[in-house]
């Protein structure tokens, strides 16, 4: 089968398409023929070993996991002897961490994998799990409900578009911060108000929020704290890569009335099933910026690393040769 592999850390050019052995599923696994996957910031981090401590997970001297790709949508080719949830021919989607930049992957049936929502394409299903699970997990401590005010900074990335939709579904009053070209998009996703950061600084307009969610890890508690209500929360995604964020988490836990949080969401089947239900009910939609064939993974990765993508970047995988 074909797969995108890398044997050393570095820029996108270390990726290459190669013929590798097709995996054989164990008793508790399913073999999935992949129709679509995605390229995201996590893939870039694992490939480049940035931040440096990523090497503790992927290999200190070189990558132990040669095939990237955390999201997938496809069909079950075969199921292990002890698998009862899935059968050959089932359309599935999920978040598996690694291995999806290939024509086939073997996945434990108990992982964050579920039957695809009805009426959704493979490309749409491949573009939703990672952002949703991260946003959903980060926002759980926020106790969002009707009357709670949240501001989502970076509202048009994979996590940001998910956060706007999750917060809207939970009934919160949502303010989204994005650039000019995406104002209408975030309104369509459910935002009650939109701030164009090219013309307005939300930290200086006098408005306050119960929750400020930095979905891109580019803001700071210091700049945002005056925009939080008493008891408010500043929740960040990538801030853990900076030494001071864990310090702020501890300090704000014991001092003051505003907290800094850096949740670490888990990829669970339960969350994928929640997402499936929302999509089937028309309450959550995929946001796809660009589509590339698997052969153009380097170009797709370069685009992701511009930091300008809207929503998700999808790789289409033919996987029809059976090789």
Q: Write down the pLDDT at residue 244.
A: 63
Instruction: Tell me: do 158 and 244 sit in the same domain.
Output: yes
Instruction: Tell me: do 120 and 11 sit in the same domain.
Output: yes
Q: Write down the pLDDT at residue 257.
A: 77
Q: Is residue 271 part of a domain?
A: no
Instruction: Tell me: do 210 and 95 sit in the same domain.
Output: no
Q: Is residue 235 part of a domain?
A: yes
Instruction: Tell me: do 205 and 222 sit in the same domain.
Output: yes
Instruction: Tell me: do 89 and 40 sit in the same domain.
Output: yes
Instruction: Tell me: do 121 and 11 sit in the same domain.
Output: yes
Strands 149-153 and 209-214 come out as parallel
Instruction: Tell me: do 120 and 136 sit in the same domain.
Output: no
Instruction: Tell me: do 255 and 223 sit in the same domain.
Output: yes
Q: Is residue 280 part of a domain?
A: no
Residue 32, φ and ψ in degrees, nearest 5 = -105, 125
Instruction: Please give the tally of structural domains in the chain.
Output: 2
Instruction: Tell me: do 105 and 28 sit in the same domain.
Output: yes
Residue 171 belongs to domain with CATH number: 3.40.50.720
| Adjacent-strand bridge partners of 312 | 288
Instruction: Tell me: do 139 and 246 sit in the same domain.
Output: yes
Quote the CA–CA distance of 231 and 229 in Å, as a whole number: 6
Instruction: Tell me: do 147 and 220 sit in the same domain.
Output: yes
Q: Is residue 52 part of a domain?
A: yes
Classify the phi-psi angles of 282: left when phi > 0, otherwise alpha if psi is within -120 to 50, otherwise beta. Answer: left
Q: Across the 323 residues of the chain, what is the mean pLDDT of every consecutive 10-residue run?
A: 96 97 97 98 90 78 93 98 98 96 98 97 97 95 94 96 97 96 96 96 94 90 91 81 58 72 89 98 97 97 94 84 37
Instruction: Tell me: do 204 and 295 sit in the same domain.
Output: no
3-state secondary structure of 106: strand
Global pTM reads: 0.91
44 Cβ contact partners less than 8 Å away, ≥ 6 residues apart:
12, 301, 304, 305
98 Cβ contact partners less than 8 Å away, ≥ 6 residues apart:
46, 65, 67, 68, 69, 70
Q: Is residue 322 part of a domain?
A: no
CA torsion angle 186 192 196 199 (round to 10) = 160
> 187 lies in which domain range?
131-261
Q: Is residue 267 part of a domain?
A: no
Question: Sign (positive/negative) of CA torsion 237, 238, 241, 242?
Answer: negative
Q: How many CB atoms lie within 10 A of CB 65?
A: 15
By 3-state DSSP, what share of the chain in percent is helix, strand and coil, each rounded to 5? 35, 25, 40
Residue 51 belongs to domain with CATH number: 3.90.180.10
Strands 149-153 and 173-178 come out as parallel
Q: Write down the pLDDT at residue 319.
A: 46
């Amino acid at each position: 089968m074909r797969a995108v592999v890398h044997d050393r850390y570095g820029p996108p050019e270390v990726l290459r398409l190669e013929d590798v052995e097709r995996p054989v599923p164990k008793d508790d696994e399913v073999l999935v023929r992949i129709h679509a996957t995605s390229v995201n910031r996590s893939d870039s981090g694992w490939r480049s070993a940035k931040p440096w401590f990523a090497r503790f997970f992927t290999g200190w001297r070189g990558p132990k996991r040669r095939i990237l790709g955390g999201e997938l949508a496809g069909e079950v080719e075969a199921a292990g002897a002890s698998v009862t949830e899935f059968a050959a021919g089932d359309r599935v989607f999920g978040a598996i961490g690694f291995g999806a930049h290939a024509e086939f992957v073997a996945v434990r049936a108990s992982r964050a994998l579920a039957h695809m929502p009805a009426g959704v394409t493979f490309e749409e299903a491949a573009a939703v799990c990672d952002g949703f699970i991260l946003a959903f997990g980060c926002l759980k401590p926020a106790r969002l409900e009707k009357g709670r005010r949240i501001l989502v900074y970076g509202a048009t990335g994979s996590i940001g578009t998910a956060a706007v939709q999750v917060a809207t579904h939970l009934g919160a009053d949502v303010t989204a911060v994005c650039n000019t070209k995406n104002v209408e998009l975030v309104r369509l996703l459910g935002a009650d108000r939109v701030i164009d950061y090219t013309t307005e600084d939300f930290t200086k307009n006098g408005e306050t929020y119960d929750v400020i969610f930095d979905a891109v890890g580019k803001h700071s508690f210091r700049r945002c704290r005056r925009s939080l209500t008493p008891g408010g929360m500043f929740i960040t995604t990538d801030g853990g890569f900076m030494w001071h964020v864990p310090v702020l988490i501890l300090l704000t836990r014991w001092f003051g009335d505003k907290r800094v949080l850096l949740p670490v969401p888990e990829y669970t089947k339960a969350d994928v099933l929640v997402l499936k239900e929302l999509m089937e009910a028309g309450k959550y939609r995929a946001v796809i910026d660009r589509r590339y064939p698997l052969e153009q993974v380097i170009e797709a990765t370069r685009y992701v690393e511009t930091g300008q993508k809207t929503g998700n970047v999808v790789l289409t995988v033919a996987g029809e040769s059976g090789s």
